[in-house]
Chain A
C-alpha cells in the first residue's frame, strides 16, 4: 500500500489502545465528533424555528434537503424518500462537512477529515449496507434476502461477492480521494508555501463536495431496489 507508507509521518491518526487489544484512532474520533457537532449545530440552527417562509440558515439547509429529496424521489420514489430521507441527508451532510474539515486553516488544533481514515469510510459504507438490509427487511420481511438467489440459485456466490464489493469500493473511493487530497496538500505546502496550495484547496473543496455526492448517490442506488421491488 503505497498510500499507507506515504501517509506515515504526514497524516497522524493517533492510534490509542483504550482497552487491552482495542485500538482506536483518537485523531479520527475527535474529528468525527467535531463533524457530528458541526452537522448537528447547522441542522438544529436551521430547524429550531422552522418556518413556512424560510430565512437564513434554514434556507441553506433546505436547499440541500430539497436537492437530496429530489434525487431520492427520482431514484427511490416517494415512499423511499419518506423512509430514507433522514438517513441519506445525514449521510451527505456528515461526509460533506467531514471532507471539508481537513481543508480548513490549520490554526490551533490540527484539523483533518474524519473521512481520510479507512475505518470511517468503510464504517459508513457498512452502515449503508446495513441500512439497505434493514429497510429491505422492514418493507419485505425476511423474503428480502431471496434476491441473493436471483435470477437463479447458482448466482448466490456472485451476489454475495457483489454485496461485499459494493461497500468496499464506496469506502476506498471516498477514503482514497480525501486522504490523497490531504497528503498532496501537505506536500504542496512543503514545496511551495504560497498560492499553489490555495489553488489545490479550492479544487479539494469541490472534490469534497463531489465525493460526498457520489457516496450519497451510490447509497440511493443501493437503496432503490428495496423500494422499487413492490412497484
Chain B
C-alpha cells in the first residue's frame, strides 16, 4: 500500500546521517586530493611553459653570443691582416730606401775612385811620358818648362780620349 507515513521523516534523517558522515570523513580528503592534483598539474604546466621560455631566451642569447664571437673573430683576423700588410709595406719602403741609399753611396764611391784613379794615371802618365820622351830625344827634359809641356800634352791627350 502506497501511503505517506513516518518513513518520510526516517528517510530524511537517514539521508542527513549519511550526508554528515560522508561530508565529515570522506569528501574533505577526496576534494583536497582532487584540488591538490589540479593545482599541481596547473603548476607543472606553468613551470614547463616557463622553463621552455627560459630555454628559448637562453638559446637566443647563445645564438647572439655566437654571432658576436664570429664577428669578433672576423674583426681580429681583418685587423691582423691589416697590421701585417702595414708592416709589409713599411719594411718594403725601408728596404727600398736603404737600397737607394746604398746605391747612392756606391755611386759616390765609384766616382771618387774613378777620380782618384784618373789623378794617379795622370801622375804616372806624366812620369812615364817624361821618361820615354827623354829617352827618345836622348836628352834631359827635366826643366820646369819641359815638365809643363809634357803635362799639357798629357792633359790634352787624356781629354781627347
Contact = CB atoms under 8 A, between A and B. Distances in A.
B80 interface: no
A1 B21 contact: no
B58 interface: no
A168 B160 CA distance: 159
A7 B33 contact: no
A114 to B, nearest CB: 8
B17 A7 contact: no
Nearest to A43: B26
Given A124-B15, A126-B12, A46 B30 contact: yes
B5 A24 contact: yes
A66 interface: yes
A114 B12 CA distance: 13
A230 interface: no
A118 B19 contact: no
A66 to B, nearest CB: 7
A52 B7 contact: no
Contacts of B16: 127
Nearest to A175: B2
Contacts of A113: none
Contacts of B27: 43, 47, 85-86, 89
Judged by DSSP, the binding face of A is helix
B8 A126 contact: yes
B10 to A, nearest CB: 6
A159 interface: no
B7 A120 contact: yes
A127 B15 contact: yes
Interface residues of A, number: 50
Nearest to A69: B34
Nearest to B5: A23
B116 interface: no
Contacts of A117: 2, 7, 11
A205 interface: no
Contacts of A33: 14
A123 B18 contact: no
Contacts of B17: 36
B109 interface: no
Contacts of B9: 123
B6 A22 contact: yes
B34 A40 contact: no
Interface in B15-53: 15-19, 21-23, 25-27, 29-34, 36-37, 40
A61 interface: yes
A122 B4 contact: yes
Contact of B30 (A1, A23, A50): A50
A3 interface: yes
A43 B22 CA distance: 8
A15 B27 CA distance: 34
B144 interface: no
Given A4-B2, A119-B7, A50 B33 contact: yes
B136 interface: no
Interface of A: 1, 3-4, 7-8, 13, 15, 22-25, 28-29, 32-33, 36, 39-40, 43-44, 46-47, 50-52, 54, 58, 61-62, 65-66, 69, 85-87, 89-91, 94, 114, 117-120, 122-124, 126-127, 130
Rank and list the top 6 A-B pairs by shortest CB-CB distance, nearest first: A123-B11, A119-B7, A86-B23, A4-B2, A50-B33, A47-B30
